[in-house]
Chain A
Amino acid sequence: MVIETVVMGIWLTITILDLVAELVLKFTQILGWFRNRRRHLTGYALSEAERDEVGFTLQNLRANGQYRTVQGVLNTRTNQVAADARAITSNAIDDQLASHHRGSRLVIYN
């Protein structure tokens, strides 16, 4: 029983590590989130409120070598970040996202 539990624990650990190790954050995922958000909110039409909005990604490289990317929307009129900002942890990022963040931790999309 103890051995089975240990084996199961090791298997789960390996599985989780595999999932994290395979995770590459792609720019299309970032773009997709912005697009889905707009579709959900306004059905593609550019509302007045949306004209004041800019998207952003903020990226940190952690000490363990993983990337932590925070994605969200800033309203430039109210100076507020929308509450649905999300954080994504990944082992790698694709070239397109990397090129956006080259030399800049915080990138604005407008």
Chain B
Amino acid sequence: MAGYVLIAARDPWDGPEQEQVFELAGSLAKERDSVSIYLTENGVLAARAGGGERWLAPLISRGVSVFADPFALAERGISDDRIVSGVVTAPIEHLVDLLAEGQSGLWF
């Protein structure tokens, strides 16, 4: 069964609606073999160590793959050594590859 890649492009601190992508990822992870989150734009703010663990650590422990766009990280001055443990930086080409593999993409 094909998996999902959820593209999180909004600042999760911007309001409760912006956290829905993480809730959905957790729910899907119970049902599907492959669930990924691709953080881009302001969504990479969730990858900051010391802040984003509340959303990402539980998902990573459940097997959700969490990727962060290095372009978006650099735009926001977030260095690779200051991101949540378990988050993998992956260029946008990786998102293209996930889509080409047939992962259903949902943009938040």
A, B in one complex: no
Task: Show the binding face of A for B, using Cβ within 8 Å.
Answer: none
Task: Show the binding face of B for A, using Cβ within 8 Å.
Answer: none
